[in-house]
Amino acid sequence: GENVEQHPSTLSVQEGDSAVIKCTYSDSASNYFPWYKQELGKGPQLIIDIRSNVGEKKDQRIAVTLNKTAKHFSLHITETQPEDSAVYFCAASSGTASKLTFGTGTRLQVTL
């Protein structure tokens, strides 16, 4: 089955700096890669996703890149703000998105 590894497990950046979280996956058939943000006391919320026919996708301060050959994808957050502090999860899925395999999460702390 699919295996997703996520690094780092914790990340501390100063406000205004960039943050990068990386994930690798094992199943070459995977074609859908969402990123979720989970704040304290809430469920994960989708912040951006990418499909295998695209190499990069951007939404304001958030971008995701995908390297299918190397089987890794990354989340980039620019100009970080305190409200970006949360746990971020990557996931991968093949076929439909009904079977997502998640990474172990990255706790991002944005300090003033």
Partner 1 sequence: ETGVTQTPRHLVMGMTNKKSLKCEQHLGHNAMYWYKQSAKKPLELMFVYNFKEQTENNSVPSRFSPECPNSSHLFLHLHTLQPEDSALYLCASSQDSGGYGTDTQYFGPGTRLTVL
Contact flag: residue 32 with partner 1 (CB under 8 A): yes
Number of residues that bind partner 1 (CB under 8 A): 23
Q: To the nearest whole angstrom, how small is the minimum distance from the Cβ of residue 98 to partner 1?
A: 6
CA distances (Å), 42 to each of 2, 8, 35, 36, 86, in order?
A: 26, 22, 15, 12, 10
Q: How many residues does the chain have?
A: 112
Determine if 46 is a binding residue for partner 1 (CB under 8 A): yes
Q: How far is the CB of 81 from partner 1 (least distance, A)?
A: 22
88 scored as a contact of partner 1 (CB under 8 A): no
For residue 1, what are its two tokens?
């089955």
Per-residue binder mask for partner 1 (CB under 8 A), 1-20, x = binder:
---x----------------
Distances (CA, A) of 22 to 12, 66, 72: 15, 10, 7
